[in-house]
Chains A and B, each alone.
Chain A
């Protein structure tokens, strides 16, 4: 059930060229970090970019961009930072307060962020999805004209189990999976050697299963966590770091995949 008037209403976003959902299935794989850095890397490619945090229960975007709770009466949304347009539940609710909502309220919040926030003209809107395959995902897939999804995983099997479910969900709702990103793929030590801390090959395996490309293997860089916690994503703070270069390559691949999709795949109207 989706409330009195049924499911989420279809949202028309004529000013936005591509809408890319970043999903994972599993929590803790660095999905929000990937979404934030991907958004900045897309911008470095000259794109006009927005980042919508659809994780209503556990928003990460405010902290990652050095922002927090704002006065709604005096603030125009989306909020701009580092040239990105940002929207998150974390701007509206005190971080020490839990959002304890049932599904329909989550769906409503996601629809509002999407349809009632003035995103203006964007080349890409990146949507940071919560873990799992729940209300926020379904709302977006039913109401937003998604270009496709990027599925983030880490190399080990325990992450793949849930990432596979995420891929399956997108297949069911016919949202194309643009590709797989393997995060925390390897670590280059001071000795110059490559260490595969969380095993290897998980992203490649998932990509083969999904029939989608492996877009990128992102290395572990301890500065990623520090940058996220201090409000300046690594792509912004250390644009020449190997991981930032990897993000730029990822953004390029995402753009290529987006442009390669047919633009008009909407279902026909029903003549009643």
Chain B
């Protein structure tokens, strides 16, 4: 039986998250992509509606500055919870979701 997909390490890199997985693949996800894919009930409701081109940022969102996480904690054996700098923290990202929101990173070329 194959091993279930699991991260070996997760670390901030630039404006996103780099994850090394136990299947040998390394992926990267921008913070903005992770936030757009937030699986919490309120974000899913927003995601299901057409985007509002005239959306005005709240004072809290403006004060928070560029979107980034302030904490990312494991939840049980299956997920991570991200706390964002605007206070949003209700998204529990399963490992499968983290993998699907990120894209594989090409390994560095060994010929050069």
Contact = CB atoms under 8 A, between A and B. Distances in A.
- A, B co-complexed: yes
B50 interface: no
A173 B80 contact: no
A175 B74 contact: no
Contact of A272 (B42, B69, B89): B69
Interface in A228-272: 265-272
Interface residues of B, number: 31
Interface stretch (A3-11, A63-71, A119-127, A158-166): A3-11
Contact of B83 (A1, A6, A144): A6
B92 A7 contact: yes
A267 B95 CA distance: 10
Interface residues of A, number: 23
Nearest to B72: A270
A142 interface: yes
A169 B17 CA distance: 28
Nearest to A5: B89
Nearest to B96: A172
B74 A2 contact: no
Interface in B73-104: 73-81, 83, 89-90, 92, 94-95
Interface of A: 1-2, 5-7, 10, 141-144, 146, 172-175, 265-272
19 contacts: A1-B40, A1-B90, A7-B81, A7-B90, A10-B75, A141-B78, A142-B79, A172-B94, A173-B78, A174-B77, A265-B77, A267-B7, A267-B74, A267-B80, A268-B10, A270-B11, A270-B17, A271-B9, A272-B72
